[in-house]
Structure 1
Amino acid sequence: MKIERADIKTTDALLFDMDGTLWDAVETYTQAWNTYFKKIKLNKLLSKTDLDHLMGLEEHKFLEAVLPEFTADQRALSYKKVVEIQYDLIDQQGGKIYEGVLKYIPLLSEKYKLFIISNCPKYTIDHFVKFAKINPYILDSISHGQNYKAKYQNMNRLIEKYNLRSPVYIGDTNSDMIQSRKAGIPFIFMSYGFGDCARADKTFASFEDFAIYYLGEKNDNN
């Protein structure tokens, strides 16, 4: 079912991307990879810049870029071990939560149903929510690592599960916009994230600007 484009008066749910939208944990992800490389004595070192432009990719595309010299089976096995390290590091040090997220998520939850949909590993959203202490405000979440479905399919899954009538997806890349279009819902672009997007339904330069707009506290001309 195609959902008509929503505006602030009709929106009933905010579906958030995670990396590049709610936080930047690429330093932590990079550390997990390099810890793994050191553990297996592989002469390979990644930088944050190496991973920045890969954020948001589905697992197989991400691993092809990070481990081109490995077979598909080797990539899958390595990623499983890297993700275990990553979970521990998130619990210990987390990442950079964007300014305004912790302040406004509780307020937004009073007006909208809040969800997180990401192409991350199975439990990364859970670890992020725990680290950020926003679990009471997130109604549900789903990651690519849970079912290996495309983002638009996971959007539709939550839309159907919760009978959402006018949701929007909030992300930071052009691929997020494409997935939103496939799901038939509006796309809100956060320009401070990892990517670019020229055809978003609305664009915000900060999480605070986004939140204030959707809380209806002022008009926005974007």
Structure 2
Amino acid sequence: MQKPDSLIFDMDGTLWDAVDTYAQSWNLIFQKLDIPRTIKRDDLLHVIGMEGQKLTRVLLPELDDEKGMEVYYAVNQVRREILPTSGGIMYKGVKDGLQQLSSKYKLFVLSNCAVGIIPLFLAWADINEFITDSMAYGTNQMPKNHNMHLLMDKHNLQSPVYIGDTNGDAEQTRLAGIPFTFVSYGFGNTDDYDNKFDDFESLTQYYLSL
């Protein structure tokens, strides 16, 4: 495998766990819209990382796409409001690891989240200075493989690696034609990877050693 010149990170399940805050944002909107429903953490774990429309079809199958996306946008507006204070849980070693890796690589965050969520995460985690750029599904409603290529073209990346925690991440990375690194501590599972790490410290040491 070619030595990478850049590392592109998934966000949820790779850098942090904000599922409890995400659940709270759904439930606040359900209350507001008088939808008799409560989303629990476990309900969200199997849909984390899905594109918005797929996610609403799974969580709100009783609604048509248009209505489902209206709810989704409302949820994300609330999420943007509560995330700076509710935050999440950073995985062990992530902040120090990103600081170290940024001295050797261009670092990026690419997620299937709504517009505005990644900057709030970067600010909350105090890691803005280590990240060259980011890209969210909400920017253009395009899948990760497309957005990987947008980042590659914009920043002239010759040999990036995508780092994520789900089989969907693996599939999208293969479609983009770049290597995939799997972190097993996140929300998903896959057997399709070029490298696998059980903690962020191991990942950091590996890429620093190249």
| TM-score bracket for this pair, using the shorter chain length | over 0.9
5 Å-filtered alignment, 1:44-193, equals: 44-193=37-186
**C-alpha separation in 1, matches of 2:169 and 2:139:** 18
Distance in 1 (CA, whole Å) between partners of 2:28 and 2:178 is 40
What displacement does 1:161 show?
A: 1.1
Where structure 1 has 5 or more consecutive residues not aligned to the other structure, the ranges are 218-222
Distance in 1 separating the partners of 2:151 and 2:26: 31
DSSP-derived class of the 1:42 partner: coil
Could you list the runs of 5+ residues in structure 2 that have no partner in the other structure? none
- In the alignment, the residues of structure 1 paired with residue 35 and residue 52 of structure 2 have an alpha-carbon distance, to the nearest angstrom, of 21
- Give the partner amino acid of 2:69: A
What is the identity, as a one-letter code, of the residue corresponding to 2:86? Q
Inter-partner Cα distance in structure 2 for 1:149 and 1:91: 26
- Residue 103 (structure 1) shift: 1.1
Does 1:208 pair with 2:191? no
Counterparts of 2:139 and 2:107 in 1: how far apart (Å)? 19
Amino acid at match of 2:29: Y
Cα distance per residue 1:149-187 (max 9 Å; x no partner): 110010011111111111100000111111111111000
Q: What TM-score do you get using the length of structure 1 for normalisation? A: 0.92
What is the TM-score normalised by the length of structure 2?
0.97
Q: Corresponding residue for 1:220? A: none
| Partner Cα separation in structure 2 for residue 30 and residue 123 of structure 1 | 18
Give a deviation string over 1:25-46, Cα, whole Å, max 9, x none: 0100000101111112221001
1:34 to 27, 31, 39: 27
Cα deviation, residue 81, structure 1: 1.2
- Cα deviations by residue, 1:63-114 (Å, 9 ceiling, x for unpaired): 1011111121211211111111111221112011111111111111000000
Matched residue SS, 2:134 = strand
Partner-residue secondary structure (3-state), 1:212: helix
Aligned residue number for residue 196 of structure 1: 189
> Do 2:52 and 2:72's aligned partners in 1 also have CA atoms closer than 8 Å?
no
RMSD value, Cα: 1.0
Moved over 2 A (4+): none
- Structure 2 distance, partners of 1:184, 1:41, is 45
State the alpha-carbon separation in 1 of the partners of residues 134 and 93 from structure 2: 20
